């Protein structure tokens, strides 16, 4: 049967969705050190990078893609997927045009969450904290490292504004591409790198018996002594 026929065989949408298999199948969850283990890093960055390496080796498609969650001026949550650009001792880095909705939301309420989900491995990482603008040099480097097409789109696009004519968009991108080709070091004035400075980072590993593993790192109250790592109930 086709996917549409399979769906039609159920009495309602809820029954069909409930019948879709979950990802928590296979071998029991392993690979997540817990408090007391000598393998547990003192801070979450090394463990995150290890999991990202595992996802790359396993062939996970776009393992560096994350969901960025913000809050708008009305208090409503918003979310979108984007690319992780770097991970440093300071935090998790991403970038955006300052004319975008997410940039306006971050300026008004400089806090966010990043969620990474590697379905094939049953792993998830959530990073929550304040958000800071990167300096001019960091933003410029990020812009120049983009592909020629991505630079042209970033320079030309009035992101999230209403588009009434696709031809206008295409013309703007062509004009931006020509300008960038003529001046290779040119950087869009509206391109911005952002750093999510983590207050909490949680690692989750799915288990077929619902005995999911959860490990949360939280900044210590004074922020000077590092991180407190705790296992959490599934």
pLDDT digits over 2-19, tens only?
989 899 999 999 999 999
pLDDT at 31: 65
Distance CA 20, CA 189 (A): 46
Q: The tokens of 53 are what?
A: 């390496």
What pTM was computed for the model?
0.88
pLDDT at 155: 86
| 99 carries a ligand binding annotation | no
pLDDT at 131: 98
pLDDT 10s per residue in the chain (234 long)? 898 989 999 999 999 999 988 765 455 666 688 787 878 899 999 999 999 999 999 999 999 999 999 999 999 999 999 999 999 999 999 999 999 999 999 999 999 999 999 998 899 999 999 999 999 999 999 999 998 888 888 888 888 888 898 998 888 889 888 888 877 778 889 999 999 999 999 999 988 888 889 999 999 887 566 999 999 998
| 160 carries a ligand binding annotation | yes
**CA terminus-to-terminus distance, the chain:** 37
Q: The tokens of 28 are what?
A: 């029991």
Q: Per-residue pLDDT tens for 32-70?
A: 887 878 788 999 999 999 999 999 999 999 999 999 999
Look up residue 1 and give its DSSP letter: -
Q: Specify which residues 203 forms β-bridges with.
A: 125, 215
Q: Let me know if 37 is exposed, middle or buried by CB neighbors in 10 A (0-12, 13-18, 19+).
A: exposed
Distance CA 115, CA 207 (A): 19
Radius of gyration of the chain (CA): 21
Q: Specify which residues 30 forms β-bridges with.
A: none
Q: Would you mind telling me the total number of residues written for the chain in this entry?
A: 234
Q: Specify which residues 112 forms β-bridges with.
A: 129
| Three-state secondary-structure class, residue 138 | helix
Crossing angle of helices 166-182 and 148-156, in 10° steps, is: 120
Helix (H) and strand (E) counts for the chain? 7, 9
| 68 carries a ligand binding annotation | no
| 115 carries a ligand binding annotation | no
Residues 6+ apart with CB under 8 A from 80: 67, 68, 102
Which of left, alpha, beta for 190 (phi over 0: left; psi -120 to 50: alpha)? alpha
| 186 carries a ligand binding annotation | no
| 83 carries a ligand binding annotation | yes
| 85 carries a ligand binding annotation | yes
Question: Where does 73-212 show beta strands of DSSP type E?
Answer: 77-83, 86-87, 92-97, 111-118, 123-133, 191-205
Full set of structural domains in the chain with CATH: 41-140+191-231 (2.30.110.10)
| 82 carries a ligand binding annotation | yes
pLDDT at 194: 98
| 5 carries a ligand binding annotation | no
| 109 carries a ligand binding annotation | no
């Amino acid at each position: 049967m086709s996917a549409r026929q399979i769906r039609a065989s159920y009495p309602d949408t809820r029954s069909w969705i409930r019948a879709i298999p979950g990802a928590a199948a296979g071998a029991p969850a392993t690979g997540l050190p817990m408090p007391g283990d000598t393998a547990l890093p003192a801070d979450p960055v090394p463990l995150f990078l290890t999991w990202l390496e595992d996802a790359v080796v396993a062939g996970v498609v776009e393992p560096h893609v994350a969901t960025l969650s913000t809050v708008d001026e009305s208090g409503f949550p918003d979310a979108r997927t984007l690319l992780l650009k770097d991970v440093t001792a300071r935090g998790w880095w991403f970038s955006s045009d300052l004319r975008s909705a997410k940039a306006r939301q971050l300026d008004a309420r400089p806090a966010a969450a990043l969620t990474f989900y590697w379905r094939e491995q049953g792993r998830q990482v959530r990073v929550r904290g304040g958000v800071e603008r990167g300096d001019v040099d960091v933003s410029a480097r990020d812009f120049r490292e983009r592909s020629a097409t991505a630079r042209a789109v970033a320079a030309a696009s009035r992101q999230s504004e209403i588009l009434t004519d696709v031809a206008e968009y295409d013309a703007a991108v062509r004009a931006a591409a020509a300008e960038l080709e003529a001046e290779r070091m040119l950087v869009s004035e509206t391109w911005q790198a952002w750093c999510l400075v983590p207050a909490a980072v949680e690692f989750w590993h799915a288990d077929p018996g619902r005995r999911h593993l959860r490990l949360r790192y939280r900044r210590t109250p004074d922020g000077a002594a590092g991180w407190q790592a705790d296992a959490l109930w599934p």
